[in-house]
Structure 1
Amino acid sequence: MQDDFQYVGFWARVGATVIDVIIILCITVPLTLMIYGFAYYDSTAIVAGPADILINWIMPAVAVILLWLKFQATPGKMVVGARVVDARTGATMTPGQAVVRYLAYIVSALPLLLGYIWISFDSRKQGWHDKIAGTIVIRPKVQGVEAVKFGADA
Structure 2
Amino acid sequence: MQVWIGRNGERFGPYEESEVRQWLRDGTCRPEELGWYEGMTDWRPLGDLFPDERPAPGAVPPTPPPAPPFMGVTESAEPEYAGFWLRFGAWVIDYLILMVPFTAISLAMGLGAAMTTLLSRIENDQTAAISAYATAVQPITYVLLVIGFAYYVFFESSKWQATPGKLAVGIRVTDVEGRRLTVARAAGRNAVRLVNAFTVLIPMVFYITAAFTQRKQGVHDLLASTYVLTGRADSTVAVPAAADTRPGGRFDA
| TM-score band, normalised by shorter chain | 0.7 to 0.9
Residue pair 1:101, 1:130 contacting (<8 A) in 2 also: yes
Unmatched 5+ residue regions in structure 2?
A: 1-72, 119-132, 232-253
- Verify: 1:100 aligned to 2:174, yes or no: no
Partner of 1:81: 170
Residues 14-35 of structure 1: CA deviation (Å, up to 9, x unaligned):
0000000111111111221123
**TM-score, length of structure 2 as denominator length:** 0.49
Change (3 A) 1:46 1:132: farther
Identity of aligned residues (%): 31
Task: Give 1 or 2: higher helix fraction.
Answer: 1
**TM-score, length of structure 1 as denominator length:** 0.78
Partner of 2:134: 44
Unmatched 5+ residue regions in structure 1?
A: 141-154
- Ranked by relative contact order (alpha carbons within 8 Å, sequence separation 6 or more), the top structure is 1
Q: How many residues align?
A: 138
Find the residue that maps to 1:5 and give its secondary structure.
Answer: coil
Deviates more, 1:106-115 or 1:95-104: 106-115
Moved over 6 A (4+): none
Post-superposition offset of 1:5: 3.0
Distance 2:136 2:228 in 1: 32
Residues 33-68 of structure 1: CA deviation (Å, up to 9, x unaligned):
12314134552227543x6533x1222211210111
Partner of 2:150: 62
Residues 117-151 of structure 1: CA deviation (Å, up to 9, x unaligned):
111121100000000000000013xxxxxxxxxxx
Residue pair 2:114, 2:136 contacting (<8 A) in 1 also: no
Q: Where do 1:1-150 residues align within 5 Å?
A: 1=73, 3=77, 5-41=79-115, 42=118, 43-45=133-135, 47-49=137-139, 53-54=142-143, 56-70=144-158, 71-87=160-176, 89-107=177-195, 110=199, 111-112=201-202, 113-140=204-231
Residues 54-93 of structure 1: CA deviation (Å, up to 9, x unaligned):
3x12222112101111121011100111010001x10011
Answer with 1 or 2: which has the greater Rg.
2
